[in-house]
């Protein structure tokens, strides 16, 4: 017997109205939402938005509110979906609601007060103000800027003078928010008062920037009765590890690079630019492995950056670095401890308990935490953690890894709350592996991954960033929703509309691009491989598949799979004489095949 056959539409609506809170607190909301989406009662966008929420109660309540107001004519179909056996079996609260209709314990004659649409102006303004503060706080947590390097040896060693010691304090990751909107009073660089000069800051240091001197490439910042070039002012403020004054020096919280890009400031290339380009050729850690005297000499040389570097100096430095050109240039080491595996990142390493330097699939950990996670171990983390069959202490004895001094004041050893928050996620995009400092990274609240807005699928809009709800990446959303997928066979999957399986296809494509460490299959091969177009008649690459998927050019899952398989077929044809590239292509193909079966819940025949 179906209790809905004995109810009027008005009674069904009232039953929903009085039980929205109970429904929103159900145990398995994703299964319920899937059923509503299957019957076209909610849109794909609403389904995805609530699925990405870490706490889904409010999102589900909003959907119920919206349905009651906009889709009331489909209320009977709504309750039929809610009382389906697959939904009821996972949600005891819905079972109780259905039982109250069956046994007559629910009474429809209860009178409700009139619905209140508005509230007092004073309370409304106070509520809006409070919500705005919470939204801003969550928005700042959700996004941050990429920082190329966290710490170098100059930050590790205590300085020989009071000036260098103070410069080491409170060095932190580059992290800034966008400037205020145009027209607001915060844009002081547009005020007539600051037509010729601007107040600037770098860390805890303040100064005054002369616009005309900056445009001429002269020393343009006055601080403590001294004139500094921008790079010198950055070092004077203790931010030398940033290596980019356009990001570290700010006016009213806005980086100078932003003002230069928007045309508010004019500048020319400062002398000594070759110095910076030269240093990129060598590992930053290697350049500071000599004695304290040599470090001081290097600081003095950097402070006089108005003179270009000669070819003799560059050749001399290259000769010094040559003996350590092997492992010392390696930035990431694959490590294990018992049955647990991870990757140790050199620039994040400080000591056993400081600096979350080891990344697993689920989180960043310190070496000591990595050992605890693996289970019972020996006394020393240096011996328990293994690299290439050797204990981690071997890398320390070879001075590849260096434990920071007890007096070190870098962000790893003396982190502030912002630094600790940044350590939870990757420093670069897990898809494109790009290290562009101007690109903003969006961090997942559930896993350690970070993404550029346009690298993630679907693309992350600014509206989502400003939303006050936690943001989850597609990897985490797929893992949370995978449990409610029915078993399918390959032929059935290929013929289905891709709009019903967009999340699975986005997950598959992100998995391939993330596994493509060298980014060989992402760009257009005709742009960097000679004679490619003569050998391959139908070129295809992961970047093209991403573009077509984002623009909804595929109609069925089979069309999407055909393009991906075309990439691997082209790789096998073009690289017949290159077994190394052929092996990488085969690995990606095998990854796609296994993840495809997992994504669509296909059982092996």
Digit-coded pLDDT (tens) for 465-502 = 777 778 889 999 888 877 656 677 888 889 989 988 89
Q: Starting from the edge strand earliest in sequence, which strands make up the sheet with 332-337, in order?
A: 364-365, 358-359, 340-345, 332-337, 386-387, 390-391
Q: Fold for domain 332-423?
A: SAND domain (3.10.390)
Ranking 319-328, 331-340, 538-547 by mean pLDDT, the lowest is 319-328
Helix (H) or strand (E) holding 548: helix 542-550
Residue 168 has pLDDT above 60, yes or no: no
How confident is the model over 416-473, as pLDDT tens digits? 988 888 889 998 888 888 766 566 788 898 899 999 888 999 988 887 777 777 888 9
Ranking 276-285, 472-481, 553-562 by mean pLDDT, the lowest is 276-285
The secondary structure of 48-109 as a DSSP string is HHHHT-SS-HHHHHHHHHHHHHH-GGGHHHHHHHHTSHHHHTT-HHHHHHHHHHHTT-S-S-
Q: Considering only the top CATH level, what class is 188-262?
A: alpha beta
- The residue written with tokens 């929103």 in the block is 24
pLDDT at residue 364, rounded to an integer: 93
How confident is the model over 356-401, as pLDDT tens digits? 999 998 899 999 999 988 887 666 898 899 998 899 989 988 888 9
Count helices and strands in the chain by DSSP H and E runs: 30, 15
Which band of pLDDT confidence, cut at 50, 70 and 90, is reported for residue 160? Answer: very low
Instruction: With CA atoms as reference, report the closest residue to 145 among 181, 175, 165, 124.
Output: 175
How confident is the model over 282-293, as pLDDT tens digits? 333 333 333 333
Instruction: With CA atoms as reference, report the closest residue to 19 among 86, 87, 99.
Output: 99
Over range 296-322, report the average pLDDT.
40
Say how many C-beta atoms besides its own lie within 10 A of residue 168's C-beta: 22
Cβ–Cβ under 8 Å, residues 402 and 415: no
Ranking 184-188, 344-348, 372-376, 459-463 by mean pLDDT, the lowest is 184-188
pLDDT at residue 367, rounded to an integer: 93
Q: Do 188-262 and 485-600 show the same overall fold?
A: no
Q: How distant, in Å, are the alpha carbons of 304, 392, 520 from that of 539?
A: 51, 45, 14
Q: How distant, in Å, are the alpha carbons of 323, 332, 396, 440, 562 from that of 390?
A: 22, 15, 12, 38, 44
How confident is the model over 119-140, as pLDDT tens digits? 455 555 555 555 555 555 555 4
In 190-271, DSSP assigns E strands to 197-202, 205-210, 221-223, 226-228, 250-251, 254-255
- Rounded CA separation 261/244 (Å): 15
Q: What are phi and psi of 295, to 5 degrees?
A: -65, -40
pLDDT at residue 157, rounded to an integer: 41
Please report, for the chain, the start and end positions of each structural domain, with discontinuous segments joined by +.
9-103, 188-262, 332-423, 485-600
The yes/no answer on whether domain 485-600 falls in CATH 1.20.920.10 is yes
With both helix axes pointing from N to C terminus, report the angle between 29-38 and 44-51 in degrees, rounded to the nearest 10: 170
Cβ–Cβ under 8 Å, residues 23 and 60: yes
pLDDT at residue 554, rounded to an integer: 94
């Amino acid at each position: 017997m179906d209790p809905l056959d004995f109810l009027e539409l008005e009674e069904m609506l009232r039953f929903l109205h009085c039980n929205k809170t109970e429904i929103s607190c159900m145990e398995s909301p994703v299964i319920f939402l899937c059923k509503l989406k299957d019957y076209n009662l909610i849109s794909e966008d609403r389904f995805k938005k609530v699925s990405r929420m870490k706490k889904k109660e409010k999102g589900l309540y909003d959907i119920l509110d919206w349905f009651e107001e906009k889709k009331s004519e489909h209320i009977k179909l709504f309750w039929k979906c809610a009382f389906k056996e697959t939904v009821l079996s996972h949600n005891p609260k819905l079972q109780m609601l259905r039982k109250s209709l069956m046994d007559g314990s629910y009474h429809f004659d209860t009178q409700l007060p009139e619905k209140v649409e508005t509230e007092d102006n004073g309370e409304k303004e106070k509520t809006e103000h409070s919500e705005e503060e919470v939204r801003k706080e969550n928005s700042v947590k959700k996004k941050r800027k990429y920082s190329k390097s966290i710490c170098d040896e100059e930050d590790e060693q205590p300085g020989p003078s009071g000036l260098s010691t103070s410069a080491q304090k409170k060095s932190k990751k580059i992290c800034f928010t966008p400037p205020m909107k145009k027209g607001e009073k915060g844009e002081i660089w547009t005020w007539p008062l600051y037509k010729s000069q601007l107040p600037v800051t770098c860390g805890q240091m303040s100064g005054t920037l002369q616009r005309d001197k900056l445009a001429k490439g002269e020393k343009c910042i006055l601080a403590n009765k001294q004139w500094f070039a921008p790079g010198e002012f950055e070092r004077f403020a203790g931010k030398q590890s940033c290596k980019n004054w356009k990001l570290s020096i700010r006016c009213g919280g806005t980086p100078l690079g932003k003002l230069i890009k928007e045309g508010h400031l004019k500048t020319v290339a400062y002398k000594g630019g070759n110095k910076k380009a030269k240093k990129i050729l060598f590992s930053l850690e290697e350049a500071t492995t000599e004695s304290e005297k040599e470090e001081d000499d290097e600081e003095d040389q950097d402070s006089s950056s108005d003179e270009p570097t000669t070819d003799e100096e560059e050749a001399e430095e290259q000769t010094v670095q040559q003996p350590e050109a092997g492992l010392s240039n390696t930035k990431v080491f694959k490590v294990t401890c018992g049955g647990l595996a991870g990757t140790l990142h050199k620039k994040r390493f400080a000591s056993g308990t400081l600096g979350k330097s080891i990344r697993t699939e689920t989180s960043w950990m310190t070496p000591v935490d990595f050992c605890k996670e693996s289970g019972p171990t020996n006394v020393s983390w240096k011996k328990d953690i293994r690299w290439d069959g050797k204990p981690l202490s071997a890398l320390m004895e070879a001075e590849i890894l260096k434990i920071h001094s007890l007096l070190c004041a870098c962000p790893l050893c003396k982190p502030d709350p912002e630094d600790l928050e940044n350590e939870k996620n990757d420093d670069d995009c897990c898809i494109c592996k790009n290290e562009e400092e101007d690109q903003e990274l969006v961090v997942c609240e559930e896993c350690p991954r970070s993404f550029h807005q346009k690298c993630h699928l679907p693309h992350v809009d600014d509206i989502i960033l400003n939303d006050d709800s936690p943001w989850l990446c597609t990897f985490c959303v797929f893992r949370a929703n995978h449990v409610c997928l029915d078993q399918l066979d390959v032929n059935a999957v290929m013929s289905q509309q891709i709009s019903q399986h967009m999340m699975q296809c986005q997950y598959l494509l992100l998995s391939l691009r993330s596994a493509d460490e060298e980014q060989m299959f992402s760009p257009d091969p005709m742009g960097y491989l000679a004679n490619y177009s003569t050998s391959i008649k139908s070129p295809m690459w992961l970047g093209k598949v991403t573009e077509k998927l984002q623009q909804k050019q595929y109609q069925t899952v089979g069309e999407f799979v055909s393009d991906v398989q075309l990439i691997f077929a082209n790789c096998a044809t073009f690289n017949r004489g290159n077994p190394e590239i052929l092996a990488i292509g085969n690995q990606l193909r095998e990854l796609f095949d296994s993840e495809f079966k997992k994504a669509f819940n296909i059982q092996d025949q």
